[in-house]
Amino acid sequence: MKKSSGSQVVGRFAPSPTGMLHTGSLVAAIGSYIMAKQADGKWLLRLDDLDTQRQIPGMADDIMKTLESFGLFWDGEVSRQSRNIEHYQHAFADLYNNGFLYPCSCSRKDIAKSSSAPHPDDDCIPYSGTCRTGINQGSAIRSWRVRVKDAEITFSDMRKGWISQNLAVVTGDFVVKRSDGAFAYQLAVVVDDFLTGVNQVVRGEDLLTSTPRQILLQNILGYPNPEYCHLPLVTETDGSKLSKRDNLISHQLGNAAGRKNEQLFYALRFLGQNPPEDLLACNCDTILQWGIDNFKSAELPT
């Protein structure tokens, strides 16, 4: 796993403007912010706004104002995926010119029918490689896929330890571009992080199974691999993931300052830290500074 040595830590938080932030988003923002700042690094904000159909007008501004209301101020300008399309095209061309891509005419229904392997980890249906040797004459191209090898992708996660995944078994050849020209998340996020020099990715555990795909693309494109830390997810009482409608956090909701303090305090507790009770009477800046001074990644619940 390639890493840049001796460089400043650059972390990031990358929400999608498809709704207000929720408690789980706040935990990810706090964890990424504190871990970057504890290393005297930068903390960047990126808006993952590729999915234009699901975006809600005004949500980008709402997210930024909400982060600021908790004392979570980012370094530099806010980046947006929608401004990086040309860079995605260059990366796609590199993959294509080096023989890593091929067109696929399979629909999601076709793939579901041909796949006998259940895949409970995420929403990826393993692709059997139907179009690896070419699509049927006259068939429409539905996507472009990257070829994967029958080999393990292994990386060390700061919380979960060593993770190993054989992409040929778990995902098969995966999509990097759709027929409508939209680039897939896996390619976009790899290019985004490279462009902004991100070398520390702290995010929710729901993205853990995506990481090997991103590492493969980094390796093919010659990008350095960031350090990864996947935080525990805030879930409903039944263990299901919070949706965009659950436990919403927004400056528009008129949360009192004391409530924000509590949310920061208990987010630190959720992350396995032990802030003293008297911090509940302090402002957001003081609580965050305590986190920067005292955060221990070894205490993250496993």
The CATH code of the domain that includes 153 is 3.90.800.10
> What is the structure's pLDDT at 253?
65
Tell me if residue 251 falls in helix, strand or coil.
Answer: helix
Q: How many angstroms separate the CA atoms of 48 and 163, rounded?
A: 26
Looking up tokens 């997210």 gives: 63
Instruction: Tell whether 71 and 217 lie within a shared domain.
Output: yes
Question: Whose CA is closest to 38, among 300, 291, 299, 298?
Answer: 291
The tokens of 227 are what?
Answer: 């350090």
Instruction: Tell whether 32 and 174 lie within a shared domain.
Output: no
Q: Looking at the domain assignment, is residue 191 inside a domain?
A: no
Q: Looking at the domain assignment, is residue 187 inside a domain?
A: no
Q: Looking at the domain assignment, is residue 24 inside a domain?
A: yes
State which of 178, 212, 227 marks the end of a domain: 178
Instruction: Tell whether 80 and 15 lie within a shared domain.
Output: yes
> CB-based contacts of 96: which residues, under 8 Å, 6+ apart?
144
> What is the structure's pLDDT at 249?
82
Instruction: Tell whether 28 and 172 lie within a shared domain.
Output: no
The tokens of 182 are what?
Answer: 């939209």
**Cut 0.85: pTM above it:** yes
> What is the structure's pLDDT at 3?
42
Q: What are the DSSP calls for 89-122, one per residue?
A: HHHHHHHHHTT-EEEE---HHHHHHH--S--TTS
Instruction: Tell whether 158 and 247 lie within a shared domain.
Output: no
The CATH code of the domain that includes 287 is 3.40.50.620
Instruction: Tell whether 293 and 214 lie within a shared domain.
Output: yes
pLDDT in tens, the chain (302 residues): 444 446 899 999 999 999 889 899 999 999 999 999 999 999 999 999 998 888 889 999 999 999 999 999 999 999 999 999 999 999 999 999 999 999 999 987 777 766 544 444 445 688 989 999 998 888 899 999 999 999 999 999 999 999 999 999 999 999 999 988 999 999 999 999 999 999 999 999 999 999 999 999 999 999 999 999 999 998 877 777 666 665 778 766 655 444 889 999 999 999 999 999 999 999 999 999 999 999 999 999 98
The tokens of 177 are what?
Answer: 């571009």
Buried b (16+ CB within 10 A) or exposed e, 160-189: beebebebbebbbbbbbbeeeebbbbbbbb
> What is the structure's pLDDT at 117?
45
Q: Looking at the domain assignment, is residue 288 inside a domain?
A: yes
Instruction: Tell whether 49 and 122 lie within a shared domain.
Output: no
Instruction: Tell whether 295 and 213 lie within a shared domain.
Output: yes
Q: Looking at the domain assignment, is residue 73 inside a domain?
A: yes
Bridge pairing between strands 227-231 and 200-204 = parallel
> What is the structure's pLDDT at 137?
84
- Own/partner pairs, 52-55, CB within 8 angstroms, 24+ separation: 52/82, 54/16, 54/18, 55/16, 55/17, 55/18
Q: Looking at the domain assignment, is residue 293 inside a domain?
A: yes
Instruction: Tell whether 133 and 91 lie within a shared domain.
Output: yes
Domain span including residue 100: 86-178
Q: Looking at the domain assignment, is residue 222 inside a domain?
A: yes
Q: Looking at the domain assignment, is residue 183 inside a domain?
A: no
> What is the structure's pLDDT at 1?
41
> What is the structure's pLDDT at 257?
46
> What is the structure's pLDDT at 244?
60
Instruction: Tell whether 219 and 172 lie within a shared domain.
Output: no
User: Helix (H) and strand (E) counts for the chain?
Assistant: 9, 12
Please state the domain count of the chain. Answer: 2
State which of 178, 210, 227 marks the end of a domain: 178
The tokens of 59 are what?
Answer: 């949500």
192: amino acid identity, one letter: D
Tell me if residue 143 falls in helix, strand or coil.
Answer: strand
* Start-end of H helices in the chain: 23-38, 59-69, 85-97, 108-114, 167-170, 185-195, 211-221, 257-270, 284-294
Instruction: Tell whether 99 and 72 lie within a shared domain.
Output: no
Q: How many angstroms separate the CA atoms of 289 and 280, rounded?
A: 13
Instruction: Tell whether 295 and 209 lie within a shared domain.
Output: yes
Cβ of 30: how many Cβ atoms within 10 Å?
A: 26
